[in-house]
Amino acid sequence: GLTIRSMRRQVLLCISVFFLSSIFGQVSYSINEEMSTASIVGNIAQDLGLDVNKLKSRNARIYSGDKREYIELNKDRGLLLIKERIDREGLCAQTTPCSLHFQIILENPIEFYSIIVEIIDVNDNPPTFEKSEIHFRISESAVTGSKFDLERAVDSDVGINGLQNYLLKPTDHFALKLHNQADGSKNVEMILQKPLDREKNEHMSLILTAVDGGEPQMSGTMQILITVLDANDNAPIFTQPVYKATVAENSPKNTVVTTVSASDADYGSNGRITYSIRNTLDDVRHMFEVNEDGDVKLIGNIDYEKARNYQINVRAIDDGGLTDSCKVIVDVMDVNDNKPLIKVMSKSNLVSEDVKSNTVVTIINIQDQDSDENGRVQCVINENIPFSLKSTTNNFYSLVTDSDLDRERASEYNITVTCSDEGVPSLSSSVTLTLQISDVNDNAPVFEKSSYEAYIVENNTPGLSIFTVKARDADWNQNARVSYILEDSSVNGVPVSSYVSVSADSGVIHAVRSFDYEQIKDFHFRVKAQDGGSPPLSSIASVKILIQDQNDNVPQVLYPVQTGGSLVAEIVPRSAEVGYLVTKVVAVDVDSGQNAWLSYKLQKATDRALFEVGLQNGEIRTVRQVTDKDAVKQRLTVVVEDNGQPSRSATVNVNVAVADSFPEVLSEFTDFTQDKEYNDNLTFYLVLALAVVSFLFITCLVVIISVKICRWRQSRILYQSNLPVIPYYPPRYSDTLGTGTLPHVCNYEVCRTTDSRKSDCKFGRAGSQNVLIMDPSSTGTMQRIQKVRPSPAAVGQCESVSQQTFNSTSHHLGILERERDRRKTHNSDSQVH
Q: Report the C-alpha gap between 489 and 215 in whole angstroms.
A: 172
- Does position 384 interact with ligand NAG (CB under 6 A)? The reply is no
The four Cα atoms 758, 763, 765, 769 give a dihedral, to 10 degrees, of -120
Task: Find, among 112, 224, 104, 237, the residue nearest to 175 by Cα.
Answer: 224
Of the pair 411, 594, the CB lying nearest ligand NAG is at 411
Of the pair 409, 708, the CB lying nearest ligand NAG is at 409
In whole angstroms, the minimum distance from the beta carbon of 415 to ligand NAG comes to 9
In whole angstroms, the minimum distance from the beta carbon of 353 to ligand NAG comes to 15
Of the pair 414, 769, the CB lying nearest ligand NAG is at 414
The 657-696 contact track toward ligand NAG, x by CB under 6 A, reads: ----------------------------------------
Q: Which residues lie across from 467 on neighbouring strands?
A: 509
CB count within 10 Å of CB 45 equals 22
In whole angstroms, the minimum distance from the beta carbon of 441 to ligand NAG comes to 22
Q: Considering only residues 586 through 605, tell me which ones interact with ligand NAG, judged by CB under 6 A.
A: none
Q: Considering only residues 269 through 288, tell me which ones interact with ligand NAG, judged by CB under 6 A.
A: none
Which helix (DSSP H) or strand (DSSP E) does residue 806 occupy?
Answer: helix 792-809
- Does position 412 interact with ligand NAG (CB under 6 A)? The reply is yes
In three state form, how does the secondary structure of 345-372 look?
A: CCCCCEEECCCCCCCEEEEEEEECCCCH
Of the pair 404, 412, the CB lying nearest ligand NAG is at 412
Of the pair 16, 401, the CB lying nearest ligand NAG is at 401
Of the pair 418, 594, the CB lying nearest ligand NAG is at 418
Q: Report the C-alpha gap between 549 and 566 in whole angstroms.
A: 35
Of the pair 434, 683, the CB lying nearest ligand NAG is at 434
In whole angstroms, the minimum distance from the beta carbon of 410 to ligand NAG comes to 7
Give SS3 for 742.
Answer: coil
In whole angstroms, the minimum distance from the beta carbon of 433 to ligand NAG comes to 10
Of the pair 335, 431, the CB lying nearest ligand NAG is at 431
Measured distance between the N- and C-terminal CA atoms of the chain, rounded to whole angstroms: 196
Of the pair 312, 415, the CB lying nearest ligand NAG is at 415
* Per-residue DSSP letter, 456: E
- Does position 434 interact with ligand NAG (CB under 6 A)? The reply is yes
In whole angstroms, the minimum distance from the beta carbon of 385 to ligand NAG comes to 9
| Contact by Cβ (8 Å): 379, 397 | yes
Q: Report the C-alpha gap between 115 and 95 in whole angstroms.
A: 19
Residues making up the chain, counted from first to last: 833
Strands 186-192 and 174-180, sheet pairing? antiparallel
Q: Considering only residues 15 through 54, tell me which ones interact with ligand NAG, judged by CB under 6 A.
A: none
Give SS3 for 627.
Answer: coil
- Does position 436 interact with ligand NAG (CB under 6 A)? The reply is no
Q: Report the C-alpha gap between 487 and 470 in whole angstroms.
A: 16
In a 10 Å sphere around its CB, with 0-12 CB exposed, 13-18 middle and 19+ buried, how is residue 32 labelled? middle
Of the pair 84, 412, the CB lying nearest ligand NAG is at 412
Of the pair 76, 412, the CB lying nearest ligand NAG is at 412
Task: Find, among 691, 475, 674, 641, the residue nearest to 565 by Cα.
Answer: 674
Q: Report the C-alpha gap between 445 and 312 in whole angstroms.
A: 79
In whole angstroms, the minimum distance from the beta carbon of 430 to ligand NAG comes to 13
- Does position 3 interact with ligand NAG (CB under 6 A)? The reply is no
Q: Which residue is nearest to ligand NAG (CB)?
A: 414
Q: Report the C-alpha gap between 210 and 589 in whole angstroms.
A: 182
In three state form, how does the secondary structure of 716-761 look?
A: HHHHHCCCCCCCCCCHHHHHHHHCCCCCCCCCCCECCCCCCCCCCE
351: left (phi > 0), else alpha (psi -120 to 50), else beta?
A: beta
Q: How many residues bind ligand NAG (CB under 6 A)?
A: 3
In whole angstroms, the minimum distance from the beta carbon of 361 to ligand NAG comes to 15
In whole angstroms, the minimum distance from the beta carbon of 414 to ligand NAG comes to 4
In whole angstroms, the minimum distance from the beta carbon of 416 to ligand NAG comes to 10
In whole angstroms, the minimum distance from the beta carbon of 735 to ligand NAG comes to 41
| Contact by Cβ (8 Å): 538, 528 | yes
Of the pair 372, 412, the CB lying nearest ligand NAG is at 412
CA 535 to chain centroid, in Å, comes to 43
* Per-residue DSSP letter, 731: G
Residue 811 CB partners (closer than 8 Å, separation 6+): none
In whole angstroms, the minimum distance from the beta carbon of 434 to ligand NAG comes to 6
Question: Which residue pairs from 174-181 have beta carbons closer than 8 angstroms and sit at least 24 positions apart in sequence?
Answer: 174/148, 174/206, 176/150, 176/208, 177/147
In a 10 Å sphere around its CB, with 0-12 CB exposed, 13-18 middle and 19+ buried, how is residue 561 labelled? exposed
Of the pair 309, 432, the CB lying nearest ligand NAG is at 432
Of the pair 433, 816, the CB lying nearest ligand NAG is at 433
In whole angstroms, the minimum distance from the beta carbon of 351 to ligand NAG comes to 14
In whole angstroms, the minimum distance from the beta carbon of 339 to ligand NAG comes to 22
Q: Helix, strand, coil % (nearest 5) of the chain?
A: 20, 35, 45
Of the pair 434, 627, the CB lying nearest ligand NAG is at 434
The residue from 254, 414, 436, 616 that contacts ligand NAG (CB under 6 A) is: 414
Q: Angle CA(222)–CA(225)–CA(231) in degrees, nearest 5?
A: 155
Q: Report the C-alpha gap between 617 and 640 in whole angstroms.
A: 10
In whole angstroms, the minimum distance from the beta carbon of 436 to ligand NAG comes to 10
Applying CB under 6 A, the residues found at the interface with ligand NAG are 412, 414, 434
